[in-house]
A and B are shown apart, each in its own frame.
Chain A
């Protein structure tokens, strides 16, 4: 695996890089080297300084102290155009594509002049080059497809293709696999290995251990702005890395929980929406955690949306405590005691400008009013309770949610959903893109909720999470239910085999 020749010069060198935002130190004298063809994992909890470090390397931020040397040249703050030409590309967690343009147009966005002078010439060359690139990387995709019609995973691939076409020597990736399913991850792995063989270096962040250890040559751990270690993968262990990230022993990734199966509360029969999913049927008991497994795009998210009133089923029925019910909108579902946490936190989870307390009370504002007038003191009091219970790291209940880290934003969403006291929770990728500590806290919360008799439907692409947290796992493939597996009797391989059926 180790392909580095002794004495080879690093592509990128950071020495004593320190950065502070308005007095708050974010990075403390970080030293880091990246070699040609090296795949380097940057790990750390949210707020550890990973994003800032990446932005510094990219050249969006210039360090207060220390320097970033790329190919022997000192890197400074520069314009986006300069960055694009400099040989470093970044793939952001929030995708930066233009939805109304096609795959090829997105790949060559901002560099159309390289494709020729006349519009038709550019069009022809874009198509040719895109096809070449797709074939080269062995990705089955139509270059004329509009990006808005692609899945998030496919969009991610387009971003990577764009970086490749820019002939980047170093690609920075912020949680590249957080929205990919197992199958797409293997495609991603192929792509990464191809880049590696061409001598391109990759620095990526991830919260998933399998990827950190599966992909990388070297693992660097960042904690509270300090570089704790930078070791070859073969010299590190998972336990060690997690320990370095959180700064203390962590014996278990998942909390222990006893299964208390109560009365039947929700029955789903032959549920379907044309082109999304068909014939879904299952029972849900109080205190049960039912996992929905499968590949991204298999229809799991749509099933969750139909149960939460975001989509209206065309066939089948939902029976709630013996009564058939139909939801016209999320409000209806909520009245029946269904809580929903979307996979798309930013789009569907919270109001960014609102404070923590305003977000938490949003779904149950009618409990905070009299004659339509809000009781903001009560609102604050309740929010404080959630902040303590969910361990939301913040300056207080009045801080705007947009200024929180991903994990803490997710906890605020949980706070809002729990505040309207649901009996069934539908959690779609509840721990995507959040740090280990917050993940563990959310798992603990789920265990606690199920102990109180709440039922949970967990949609997850993270197999260990799905297997550890669920009592039963419903596997969905291409909109159809392919298996119902019991926790004790199944294996990741079995789940995957049904998911790809």
Chain B
């Protein structure tokens, strides 16, 4: 794909442009931005948010929403840590258990959304609180530490000089992008978001697809939880507070319609990077953490407004 096509031919053109401009702006303000190490730091920092955002992109494209991401991440992170203790722990078992728990929680979300017909916003708002409580119960409210070396490697190690979390980011992006654009499942998800009734009449197993979508979201939240626990060498029951909002913000900045039916993983990746670059830039410029939040919120709104203007201009 050439540059012109990326800029004007695709949905993600606007955010791509905004990301470039933001990078140019920050690198003129500080020489410390555009260095190999700093770029790797950004990618490493955004990896957990990216993984959550990829999972929830499926949910949002299908016309739903998942607010329980951050809590599911905490549960899975604690579970992973409990099975990855330096004494008697087993990394593989830990991964298996954490991912299973994540998928089960996601499946439960899907199940409730389908059967109760209560809007997913409400359902996942409920499970957000439930899962947070579960994380505290499992861990007895205390951080789970003393984790095995091989588990910590997942968060802090590298392969061929590339940090493991970044490899996970790249891997999940490629898989999700492929699934969304090249498979029957991806097509079904988009169709349901585009017009659920028509999709049902056309013979699509709507309930089954929706169920899968929430399950995937839970699975990806769990993966995020594992990486986060590994990075900080602790299973924190309070981890991931508000992560769902960052992930959803990234998806929306990336041009995925909140009404469903339209969106891309590339857009989500760019949205994640956009948020990451701003955070990093504000850090480098020594902006206080309090002000960072204010600036961040403003920039998110601005980005979406500019993107909608840009999309109109293109027509």
Contacts and interface: CB of A to CB of B under 8 A. Distances in A.
A307 B263 CA distance: 35
B183 A342 contact: no
A438 B199 CA distance: 25
B203 interface: yes
Given A372-B184, A373-B182, A374-B182, A347 B197 contact: yes
A362 B183 contact: no
A350 B187 contact: no
Interface string A324-367: 00000111001000001010000111111110001000110110
A351 B183 contact: no
A376 B199 CA distance: 19
A309 to B, nearest CB: 9
Nearest to B200: A330
B200 A329 contact: yes
Contacts of B205: 331
Interface in B170-223: 182-185, 187-188, 190-191, 194-195, 197-205
A369 B183 CA distance: 8
A480 interface: no
B32 interface: no
A372 B261 CA distance: 20
Contacts of B261: 351-353
Given A373-B183, A374-B183, A334 B203 contact: yes
Contacts of A208: none
A376 B190 CA distance: 16
Given A351-B198, A352-B194, A353-B262, A358 B203 contact: no
Interface residues of B, number: 21
B64 to A, nearest CB: 17
A416 interface: yes
A150 interface: no
A342 B201 contact: yes
A366 B205 CA distance: 12
A351 B195 contact: yes
Contacts of A330: 200-203
Contact of A347 (B190, B198, B203): B198
A416 B202 CA distance: 8
Given A310-B201, A348-B201, A358 B187 contact: yes
Interface of B: 182-185, 187-188, 190-191, 194-195, 197-205, 261-262
Closest 5 pairs between A and B when the two form their complex, measured CB to CB: A351-B194, A331-B203, A334-B203, A348-B201, A363-B202
Given A308-B201, A347-B195, A351-B199, 18 more contacts: A330-B202, A340-B201, A342-B201, A348-B197, A348-B198, A348-B201, A353-B190, A353-B194, A354-B190, A363-B202, A363-B203, A365-B187, A368-B184, A372-B185, A373-B184, A374-B184, A374-B187, A420-B203
